[in-house]
Structure formats: C-alpha cells, structure tokens
Structure 1
Amino acid sequence: MTNIDSELPPVRLWPVLVALGGVAAFWIANLIYGWSLSVTERGLFGDMFGAVNALFSGLAFAGVMYAIVMQRHEISIAKKEIAYTKTILDEQQKQLTLQNQETKKQAFESTYFQLVRLFTEITNQIDLQKMGKSGMMVTKGKDAFPVFLDRFRKVYSPTEKALYGGHDFDASYESFYQEHNTELGHYFRMLYNIVAFIDAAEVENQNFYAKILRAQLSDAEVAILFYNGLAKYGVMKFKPLIEKYGLLKNVNNRDIIELKLKDRYAPSAFGNTGK
C-alpha cells in the first residue's frame, strides 16, 4: 500500500518565523526609539505606541499566520486521505466485479455441462424398432438419425405425393414429425432449451459454448435439425437461434433433399460460409 505520510507536503513554518521576527524587530526598534527620547516624550510615545501593545498585537498576528499555515496543512492531509481512500474503494470494486463475473461463469458452466450431459443421455435413449425378416430390429442413439433421414426422404418424395403432399415441405415434415414425435419431441425440446440457456446467459463468448454443443451433433443430427428449424415447431423460436449461433455449419448438402430449402435460412445459420 502507498504511504500517505510520505506523499504529504511538509509543514512550512517560515511564514510564522518571519512574522515572529517582524514582531521582535518592531518591539526592539520601539524600545530603542523610546530610550532615545526624553522622559516627557517617552510618556507621550508610550501612550501612543506602547511596546506591550505592539508586542501583543504582533503575537496575535503571528498566531493568525500560524493558524492559517496549519489549516492549509490539514486540508492537504484531508485531500490526500480522500484520494487514497477512493483508490482503495475503486480497487475493491474492481475485485468484487471480477469475483461476481467468475461466480456467474462457474454457475453457468456447471448448469450448462449438466444440460449437455442430460442431452447426451436423451440422445442415447432414442430407439427405433422395425420388424425385419430376421425379427425385430432396434436402432439406438445417434445411429437412429440416419434412419430418420431415410424415412423423411420417403415422405418428402414425388412418389408419395398422393399420400403426403409430395414436395410440400411443411405437410411432409408434419407427417414425419407426428410419426416420430415420441423419439424426436424430447430431443428437440432439450436441444432448444440448451441453446436458449446459452443465449440468455450473462457470460462472455457465448459462441464458444454453442460450438461445444454443435460438436456433439452428428451429420445426420444436423440434417434433421435443418428440417426441424424450418417446420412450424421451430421456425418461430429455434430458427433465430440456429442462425445466430451457426448450428448448421456442418450440414452436408447430400442430406438436404432440395437445396432451395437453404434459402429459407440466413447465411449465418451455416457459420457465415454462405449457402
């Protein structure tokens, strides 16, 4: 810490000494002059300019000068103390701000990684069952998403126009989603809530945490997210967040049935790499 006393100006006594010297000189001069007069003249001079009166008046003047000097010194000390106190308070405020930011970051990261872990568990719990020639076939976890893509291609196909509306994307995805709502409903709600949690958090570099989440998604998951963001379930709330954090950066064009669907997204959805 800075030593306040070392920064304070010294007390200057020379004005006081000058005043005392002036008083003493005036008193001596008055005394000498008085002795040079006759007895009668001394009396008259004493009545007009008594040495004692001059002495006390001079001392009073010296006292006033000394009081002024001390007052200036005390004011200087007070100013230094105020400045020093302000510096300490500013430093404490900075430390408190940093501690609050670190506390918020730790709380956010704790919740965030718990959500990511829960999202992984939800993904792993997905299972698709299909009766095959050799019996019931079960596809679980991330392996289910290529199956989802194949099934959506069959729905969003000219050959299925009579049943599902052909190339009408909204009707096709609605049919597909209703069929697989049990598996995908929980998945997309959890994914949306994680991204919304990142977006609402008071932390620096939110994109960093969005990239961590994006890295958890397989190519097939990103493709299904691409379609979900354009459907009525995601276009109002999820699509703006997809565009803001570039969650479709790793989407593969071969997984998009019609590339013109990419025009419904802003370029930022693909990581500012264009369409």
Structure 2
Amino acid sequence: MKDKKNGPSFPWHLAIAGVLSLVVLLGFYWVGANKFSTEEWNEFGDFIAGAAGVIITTFTFLALLYTIHIQSTELALSRNELSLTRDELALNRGEIAKSGKALRDQVETIKVQNFERTLFESLNFLSKLSEQFEWRSPVEDAPRTGVSAFFAMYHQIGHPSVALGALGVEDGDQIGNHAPLGEALDRLRTQLAPYYRTLYNIYRYLDESEFADEVYYNRIIRAQIPDHALAILFYNSLTPRGLRFQKYIEKYAILDNLPPELLFNPHHRAVLDNLPTPNATEAIGEA
C-alpha cells in the first residue's frame, strides 16, 4: 500500500520477519550456551547449519519459482497491453484514413464548387454580352438587339457581296482566306470579338480543369449559344483570327447542333466534318 503523502509505506512484514529470525537465533544461542557442553554445542551447531542450509536452499528455490511466476504474470500483462496498444493504433490508423479521405473529398468538393462558380459567372457574362448587341439595318427602323442581332449579323456575312454561297468548295482554309468574308467579319468585330473571346476562354477553362465532368458542363455551355451564333463561329474559325478555336470546336463537338440549312453552301458541310483544317492544326501546334 502506498502512503498518499509520503510515497511507498515501510515494509513492516520484512521487518517483523527479520526480528523473528533474530529472536530465534538468539534463542538457539541461549539454549546451546546453557544446556549443552562444548562438544554437544558443536554437534548441535553442525546440525543447525545443515538444517539451515536445506531450509535456505528450499526457500531460495521457492523464491526463484515465485520470481518466475511474477515475471510470467508481468510478461502476460505486458503482452496484453501491447495487444491493446496495437488494436488502438489500428483503430487510430483507420480513423486517420477516414479523416484523410473526408478531407480529400472536402477539398475536391470545394474545387468543383469554385470551378462551377467561375464557369457560371463566365456564362452569365457571356449572356450579358449578347444582350448588349445592337444591329441597325439600313432598311429597318428599329435596331435588332440581343439574340435577334445574331440573326442580322449572320445575314451580313451571307450577303451576296460576300459571295459565300457561291464559294462551293470543301477547303476550309480557302474559305477562311476569302477576303470578302474577312472584311465582313471585321465590320462586325466590335460586337462579336468580345463575345467569341469570352466563349473561347470558357472552353479553355473547361479544357484545363481536368477534374471536371467535361461532357456535362459542355452541354450547359453549348445550350447557351444560339444557332446563328454557331454559324458565325464556324465561318469565323476558318479565318486566320479564329483558327485556334477549331481545337475546342473539334474536341467538344460545339457545332454538332448547327442546323445544316445555316451553312451558306452545302459543300461547306464537308469542311465542318473534317475540322481542324491544316492551317488550324499548324496554328494549334505553335500555341
């Protein structure tokens, strides 16, 4: 038992055993000194010594066995504690693994949320750009605005003076180098350039975000592009200024929803089906 104030208590049982041993020894000495002669006392001493040796040897052996028993018990306890420690460590590793997975999932969720927020803010900006479109026709009193302006600008590109309808070729680079087409797009550049640059950067952002579900987000983006804007995008991508956009047009099938009747010549369908053109391939490789 331990004394709470003074630490371990005094081993009284050992002190008592020592006192009793001393009393017995003195008793033997007194008896021998008073009852026996010197010769008997020597014989008695030899007897006591021999008996004591046997007793001491016996107690030593018993003490050794008791020591082995204590050590075996302590070893078993140590093994049990070690087993419990291993189990606890295994549980801790499991909890750490779960926490690590939960943290990775949380980080992934935050990445997706940040990606979606940026994407939808960009699409909202793209929509506002188209809402600001305004096209005044020389034969109409009211200007065309918003999506309706795409319709008017599309017909400007298809004007007889541009002669795209008469350009019945299947060479996209030849169409893109057609000077009247470049001039028509230059006249529309003030309004169209910000729109298509924003659309290009949206697809670039999608392409560089490898964790994103590209198919799902691509459908969302494509749904925001009016049909006449798709037609203008096709012809603009054939010109030197728009060649790099063909990379995303081909990869994300942006023009799959382009109605065939919006092509100014049926032969241009072959160009659409074989993007990117040689000039675009070269421009993409140099980027």
TM-score by length of 1: 0.71
Greater Cα offset, 209-218 or 256-265: 256-265
2:73 is aligned with what amino acid? Answer: Y
> Are 2:223 and 1:218 aligned?
no
The 8 Å contact of residues 176 and 236 in structure 2, kept in 1 or not, is answered as no
State the structure with bigger RCO (CA 8 A, min sep 6), 1 or 2.
2
Q: Which amino acid aligns with 2:207?
A: D
Shift of 1:230: 2.4
Per-residue deviation at 1:140?
A: 1.5
Deviations 1:93-117 (A, max 9, x none): 1211222122222222222222111
Residue 180 of structure 1 pairs with residue 194 of structure 2: no
SS of equivalent to 2:254: coil
Question: Does residue 80 of structure 2 align to residue 70 of structure 1?
Answer: no
AA at the equivalent of 1:183: Q
**1:115-264 maps to which residues of 2 (within 5 A)?**
115-132=122-139, 136-153=141-158, 154=160, 155-157=162-164, 168-172=175-179, 173-201=181-209, 203-236=211-244, 238-256=245-263, 257=265, 258-264=268-274
Does residue 47 in structure 1 map to residue 50 in structure 2? no
Max Rg structure: 2
Pair 1:87–1:46, CA change in 2 (3 A): same
Q: CA deviation at 1:171?
A: 2.7
Question: Runs of 5+ in structure 2 lacking a partner?
Answer: 1-43, 168-173, 277-287
Q: Is the 8 A contact 1:219 1:252 kept in 2?
A: yes
Instruction: Verify the 8 A CA contact 1:119 1:187 in the aligned structure 2.
Output: yes
Q: Which residue of 2 aligns with 1:31?
A: none
Assess if the C-alpha contact under 8 Å between 1:229 and 1:235 holds in 2. Answer: yes
Report the AA paired with residue 259 of structure 1: R
Given that 1:123 and 1:141 are in contact with CA atoms closer than 8 Å, whether structure 2 keeps it comes out as yes
Q: Which 4+ stretches in 1 moved above 3 angstroms? A: 39-49, 156-160
Check whether the contact 2:175–2:238 (CA below 8 A) recurs between aligned residues: no
Q: What TM-score do the two structures reach when normalised by structure 2?
A: 0.68
Report the identity percentage: 24
State whether residues 135 and 153 of structure 2, in contact with CA within 8 Å, keep that contact through their aligned partners in structure 1: no
Corresponding pairs, count: 220
